[in-house]
Amino acid sequence: MARAVVTLPAQARRGEIIEIKTLAAHPMETGFRRTQLGELIPRDIIRRFVCTYNGAEVFRVDLHPAVAANPLIAFTTERLCRDRDRLDPRRVSICTRPCLVLAAACVFLDLRAAGAAAEIPPAERRSGYEFMGRETRAMQDDDATNPGLLWVLDGEINACRTGRQKAAPLAFESRDLLALTAYVARQSRGLPIDIAIDEPTRPFLQAGRETFYRRQGQLNLACAQCHDDHWGAKLAGSPITQAHPTGYPLYRLEWQGLGSLERRLRSCLAGMRAEPYAYGAPEFVDLELYLMWRARGMKIETPAVRP
């Protein structure tokens, strides 16, 4: 049994056709990876999806290798029971096994040398959302199709667990930590980023700003060259956004899962052929503070969806 978010109308009349949307969460193991000892890790993907209602099967589908890790499955059915009955999400059962391979190509642009880049004026600030295609936006807009919500629901469970307080710190990028962060950030969805910089925090903001404008890595690039000077342009087919951290943690289709802002920043650093900072490193914390300050006034979108 895998976790699933089920969305369906609250009620329906007998004989009425209703649409049921399900988002299933599942780990993705391609069957091609090996453990440190060289043993093949068995494939583990969603192979079969069966939806039952009060014990009776209403929908079934067999899935094959090209399935996503967290597929959205929508289907229509006739209401099966008496008035006010609801489809019980606990009765959605999912069987697992064999495989998916995702190939991601990465090509980097050689950008022209930029002068001292100017900060983006407030009126021109745009979330990464606005650079996304119609499908990605639609996926983010509708809670029934936004896979990031799978983690938010986990967070809800975590937040209720009182035993947590005495537990060891949650690991960076672990499902538990992402779930908790997504859950907490989602409480601020739609609210503007309001960041207070005082004397004690000012040096950290300054350090973050310096990192953003400093050229680094084998390509000798600064964050600002892409995100202040070339936003709106494309890099290997992906739109270059303004790098606002409004949607994190967010669901990335390429990751087939939720990821933190630091994971995203590590990708950008790797793209610059620079040594990525470790998770939780002071350089990241400063950079994140600067990015938040740079996006002040913009609305939180967590969990956003990006390609």
Pattern of binders to ligand HEC over 104-143, x per CB under 6 A? ------------------------x---------------
DSSP string spanning 20-31?
EEEEEE---B-S
Contact indicator for 61, 101 with CB cutoff of 8 Å: no
Q: Does 289 bind ligand HEC (CB under 6 A)?
A: no
User: Could you say which residues in the range 249-288 bind ligand HEC, by CB under 6 A?
Assistant: 264-265, 268-269, 271-272, 287
Whichever of 7 and 211 has its CB closer to ligand HEC, that residue is 211
What 121-126 contacts at long range (C-beta under 8 Å, 24+ apart), as own/partner pairs, is 122/297, 125/242, 125/244, 125/295, 125/297, 125/298, 126/231, 126/241, 126/242, 126/244
Smallest separation (angstroms) from ligand HEC to the CB of 88: 36
Q: Which of 45, 58, 180, 223 binds ligand HEC (CB under 6 A)?
A: 223
Burial readout 72-82 (b: 16 or more C-beta within 10 A, e: otherwise): bbeeebebeee
Q: Which of 235, 253, 256, 293 binds ligand HEC (CB under 6 A)?
A: 235
Asked if the bond preceding 303 is cis, omega within 30° of 0, the reply is yes
Options 81, 99, 223, 268, the catalytic residue: 268
Whichever of 125 and 227 has its CB closer to ligand HEC, that residue is 227
Residues that bind ligand HEC (rule: CB under 6 A) add up to a total of 25
User: Could you say which residues in the range 22-51 bind ligand HEC, by CB under 6 A?
Assistant: none
Whichever of 152 and 291 has its CB closer to ligand HEC, that residue is 291
Single out the segment in contact with ligand HEC by CB under 6 A; choices: 78-86, 166-174, 178-186, 236-244.
Answer: 236-244
Smallest separation (angstroms) from ligand HEC to the CB of 217: 8
268 is a catalytic site residue: yes
Distance CA 50, CA 63 (A): 11
Distance CA 307, CA 301 (A): 15
Q: What Å distances lie between residue 77 and 57, 74, 81, 144, CA to CA?
A: 11, 10, 12, 17
Q: Which of 203, 238, 270, 275 binds ligand HEC (CB under 6 A)?
A: 238
Burial bucket for residue 171 (CB in 10 Å: 0-12, 13-18, 19+):
exposed
Q: Single out the residue of 232, 293, 236 nearest to residue 267, CA to CA.
A: 236
Q: Which residues bind ligand HEC (CB under 6 A)?
A: 128, 212, 221, 223, 225-227, 235, 238, 240-241, 243-245, 247, 264-265, 268-269, 271-272, 287, 291, 306-307
Residues with a known catalytic role: 268
